[in-house]
């Protein structure tokens, strides 16, 4: 058989592609999972190498820098079934592999080596975009006719079947020395070009996938922002908006747990805003969190107005006082960014938790600012709406309900009285000695007195009752859900009158430059009401008339006016003596 002839099928009882046999000595027979391999068109390379072997009879392999075969032709019968089956000749094979690899690493150019088994191997580096990523090996050929005496001796020394071994040696091609380099140039250039095309195509595909993923993620972010903006424009309740914002972020970034805390300006503490994925016990524990440089992540961020990253809550100094909460919520990192309005006033914090130690990269830190801005927009819109509502329904000076809100509360109180069959009461109060305060001390002092007077009245009633300012020094107290018996309801009102008397008996010390002290008196007109028979206008009119009757008396006086069927007369005027 000539050297150019291919081995017979009968001579290859076991298919012997190099890709499956290169690492026989170590027992490894798997293709490398090196990232470079994933980018190659390996089937195409295998086909080219197989065709090349059929044409010239030489073995070809593409091997990465870790020694793993990526693509190959079949192995020479003499090497596979003889040399690699005996320890001595196997050692020669591995030595050839090592020498060639080392030469390429050191020189990064073509290397030729004649192994001690008598065969020649050569290799050339494969560079992709200037990077040395793999090597192409061409081997198991002769550069001159073989010395059969040498191979007979080798067969005897290694207990090879001499006839079969010499037959395998006869199949090995002879490549003259002057043709080795051109052959190696040809196959390495071809392999390099195919590998580079495949690699670049793979990189382009990966880039395209990343771009597609980024576009998809960005589209979801825009959809989220549009939905939140839509909720804000529709004046949806603030807790609902914040909860939807948190849930959508958690959906886009699985593994994150988000929360919003709102700053209460009156108490200077953070209050629960939205944190649907945190345990309820945790939310209760942080509700009312005091601001401070060591108050966890959110308390510190709100205190400083700067983002605070706690990469590991077990070791971060701000969290040592909150270790029980860390274990309660099974969290290990917390990144908090303050929520600020356009004037840089802190409105709250946006917190992001993870269940393992972590810190955000620059890109996600910018995302956190986007989340904070959305929350700020919702909070500011809510605060503006609340401010407008407060201006529409509350007295600017005292903070009490104004006439508009009082009318609403009156209608509600009358409807509730009809349903429950309970009485209510309306008290009309007018300060008796207020005008001299303005005349002597000025309107600022007068305003301070009205504010102090309003505050005392507010402290005397239940949360379900209403204290309103009609204007000037006139005030209304609307009591609801009194006893269904008129006499007992009246007794309840008289208990409140006693509280009013005691409250007004205490002088008013005003915090003004003059720091004056005043003893106030007021006239009070009262009327019980029942939703089945009364209207708001009639009720106010009766209480107003009773107040003017009380004003004819000296000091703090009270007059009742009852136009419904009560145990007393239809219109009773009874002085109240302090």
197 plus 279 within the same structural domain = no
Q: Is residue 505 very low, low, confident or very high in pLDDT (cuts 50, 70, 90)? A: confident
For residue 547, being part of any structural domain is answered with yes
Question: How far, in Å, CA of 198 to CA of 301, rounded?
Answer: 50
Q: What is the pLDDT of residue 566?
A: 44
Q: Based on the domain organization, do 166 and 288 belong to the same domain? A: no
Higher pLDDT, 483 or 571: 483
> What average pLDDT does this structure show over 77-89?
86
pLDDT score of 553: 78
At residue 290, what are phi and psi to the nearest 5 degrees?
A: -80, 140
**Domain region containing 321:** 238-385
Judged on CB neighbours under 10 Å (0-12, 13-18, 19+), 414 is buried
Q: What is the reported pLDDT for 513?
A: 67
Asked if the structure places residue 226 within a domain, the reply is: no
Among 434-438, 453-457, 514-518, name the one with the lowest average pLDDT: 514-518
Let me know if residue 154 belongs to a domain. Answer: yes
Q: Confidence class of residue 563 from pLDDT cuts 50, 70 and 90?
A: low
Same domain, 409 and 380: no
Q: Is the pTM of this model over 0.75?
A: no
pLDDT of residue 126: 82
- pLDDT-above-90 percentage for the chain: 41
State the DSSP string of 437-474: HHHHH-HHHHHHHHHHHHHHHHHHS-TTSEEEEEETTE
Structure tokens given for 557: 């006086």
Interval 108-134: pLDDT, tens: 678 888 888 888 888 888 887 778 888
Place 577 in a pLDDT band, splitting at 50, 70 and 90: very low
**Helices and strands (H, E) in the chain, number of each type:** 18, 18
Per-residue pLDDT tens for 348-376?
Answer: 999 999 999 999 999 889 889 989 999 99
Residue 27 within any structural domain of the chain: yes
380 plus 254 within the same structural domain: yes
413 and 534 part of one domain: yes
Check whether residue 303 and residue 447 sit in a common domain. no
**Single residue among 325, 358, 385 that ends a domain in this structure:** 385
On whether both 357 and 414 belong to a single domain, the answer is: no
In degrees to the nearest 10, what's the CA dihedral of 113, 117, 120, 124? -50
Asked if residue 528 and residue 451 are part of one domain, the reply reads yes
Total domains, the chain: 3
**Same domain? 369 vs 411:** no
Residue 304: inside a domain, yes or no? yes
Q: Alpha carbon 182 to chain centroid distance?
A: 60
Residues 455 and 501 in one domain: yes
* 279 lies in some domain: yes
On whether the CB atoms of residues 544 and 568 are closer than 8 A, the answer is no
pLDDT at residue 9 tops 60: no
CB of 139 closer than 8 Å to CB of 97: no
Position with higher pLDDT, 141 vs 65: 141
Give the CA distances from residue 148 to residues 81, 89, 153, 161, 245, in Å, rounded to whole numbers and listed in that order.
18, 17, 9, 14, 82
Q: Which among 385, 414, 448 is the end of a domain?
A: 385
Span 246-285, pLDDT tens digits:
999 999 899 999 999 999 988 999 999 999 999 999 999 9
- CATH number of the structural domain spanning residue 499: 3.30.70.270
Q: Could you tell me where the DSSP H helices lie in 234-255?
A: 238-252
Residue 3 falls inside a structural domain: no
């Amino acid at each position: 058989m000539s050297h150019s002839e291919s081995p017979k099928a009968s001579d290859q009882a076991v298919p012997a592609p190099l890709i499956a046999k290169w690492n026989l000595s170590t027992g490894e027979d798997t293709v490398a999972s090196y990232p470079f391999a994933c980018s190659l068109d390996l089937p195409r390379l295998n086909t080219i190498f197989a065709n090349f072997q059929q044409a010239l009879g030489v073995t070809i392999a593409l091997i990465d820098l870790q020694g793993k075969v990526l693509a190959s032709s079949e192995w020479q019968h003499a090497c596979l079934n003889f040399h690699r089956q005996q320890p001595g000749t196997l050692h020669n094979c591995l030595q050839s592999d090592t020498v060639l690899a080392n030469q390429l690493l050191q020189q990064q150019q073509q290397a030729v080596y004649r192994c001690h088994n008598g065969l020649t191997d050569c290799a050339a580096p494969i560079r992709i975009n200037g990077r040395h990523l793999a090597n192409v090996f061409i081997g198991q050929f002769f550069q001159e006719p073989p010395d059969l005496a040498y191979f007979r001796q080798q067969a005897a020394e290694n207990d090879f079947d001499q006839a079969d071994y010499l037959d395998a040696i006869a199949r090995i091609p002879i490549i003259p020395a002057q043709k080795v380099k051109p052959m190696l140039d040809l196959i390495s250039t071809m392999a390099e070009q195919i590998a580079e095309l495949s690699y670049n195509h793979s990189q382009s595909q990966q880039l395209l996938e990343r771009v597609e993923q980024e576009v998809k993620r960005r589209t979801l972010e825009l959809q989220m922002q549009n939905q939140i903006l839509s909720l804000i424009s529709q004046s949806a309740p603030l807790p609902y908006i914040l909860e939807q914002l948190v849930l959508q972020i958690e959906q886009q970034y699985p593994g994150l747990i988000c929360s919003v805390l709102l700053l209460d300006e009156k108490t200077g503490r953070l209050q629960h805003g939205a944190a649907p994925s945190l345990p309820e016990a945790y939310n209760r524990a942080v509700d009312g969190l005091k601001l401070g440089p060591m108050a966890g992540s959110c308390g510190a961020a709100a205190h400083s107005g700067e983002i605070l990253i706690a990469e590991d809550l077990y070791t971060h100094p701000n969290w040592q006082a909150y270790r029980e909460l860390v274990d309660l919520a099974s969290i290990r990192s917390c990144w908090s960014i303050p929520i600020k309005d356009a004037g840089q006033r802190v409105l709250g914090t946006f917190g992001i938790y993870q269940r393992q130690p972590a810190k955000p990269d620059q890109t996600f830190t910018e995302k956190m600012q986007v989340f904070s801005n959305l929350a700020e927009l919702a909070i500011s819109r809510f605060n503006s709406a609340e401010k407008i509502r407060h201006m529409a329904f509350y007295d600017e000076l005292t903070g009490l309900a104004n006439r508009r809100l009082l009318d609403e509360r009156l209608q509600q109180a009358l409807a509730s009285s009809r349903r429950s069959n309970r009485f209510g009461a309306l008290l009309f109060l007018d300060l008796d000695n207020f005008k001299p305060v303005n005349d002597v001390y000025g309107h600022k002092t007068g305003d301070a007195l009205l504010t102090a007077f309003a505050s005392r009245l507010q402290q005397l009633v239940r949360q379900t009752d209403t204290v309103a300012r009609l204007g000037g020094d006139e005030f209304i107290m609307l009591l609801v859900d009194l006893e269904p018996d008129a006499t007992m309801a009246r007794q309840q009102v008289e208990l409140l009158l006693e509280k009013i008397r005691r409250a007004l008996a205490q002088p008013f010390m005003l915090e003004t430059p003059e720091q004056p002290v005043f003893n106030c008196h007021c006239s009070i007109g009262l009327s019980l009401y029942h939703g089945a028979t009364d209207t708001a206008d009639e009720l106010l009119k009766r209480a107003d008339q009773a107040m003017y009757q009380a004003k004819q008396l000296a000091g703090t006086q009270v007059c009742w006016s009852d136009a419904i069927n009560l145990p007393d007369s239809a219109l009773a005027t009874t002085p109240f003596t302090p």
